[in-house]
Amino acid sequence: MSAKIRKGDKVIVLTGRDKGKSGEVIEVRPAEARALVRGINVVRRHQRQTPQNQGGIISKEAPIHISNLALADPKDSKKATRVGFKEIKGEKVRVARRSGETIDG
């Protein structure tokens, strides 16, 4: 199965508190249809002190639903694009619908 959004992709948030912001995908959770994006949907958590970690209030990224994300166009990274698939030299590759550019990864 080929996922449209993968780890390392640059994405733009389409809706919600962080609408319009962009970031890099840190982790994808296909079973939940969610992704972690660096600097997006940051929540503050109260953390109990452990021998390894210091306690206090920490900030970390919370998962965001994949439907609220769009891939940033490789040609013009400020604009969102949809993802398509093409077969080039017998290999299935992701293609940006907006510009027609192939997406690395």
62-73 pLDDT, tens digit each: 999 999 999 998
C-alpha to C-alpha distance for 48 and 57, rounded to whole angstroms: 9
Q: Which residues contact 23 (CB under 8 A, 6 or more apart)?
A: 10, 11, 13, 37, 38, 39, 40
Domain 10-96 CATH (choose: 1.10.3720.10, 2.30.30.30, 1.10.1740.10, 2.40.110.10): 2.30.30.30
Q: How confident is the model at residue 76 (pLDDT cuts 50, 70, 90)?
A: confident
According to the model, what pLDDT value does residue 71 have?
A: 93
Query: Is 30 a residue whose pLDDT tops 60?
Result: yes
Query: Is 98 a residue whose pLDDT tops 90?
Result: no
3-state secondary structure of 50: coil
Query: Is 44 a residue whose pLDDT tops 90?
Result: yes
Query: Is 1 a residue whose pLDDT tops 60?
Result: no
The residue ranking higher by pLDDT, 2 or 12, is 12
pTM (predicted TM-score): 0.82
According to the model, what pLDDT value does residue 105 have?
A: 60
Least confident of 12-16, 33-37, 76-80: 76-80
Q: Tell me the average pLDDT of the chain.
A: 90
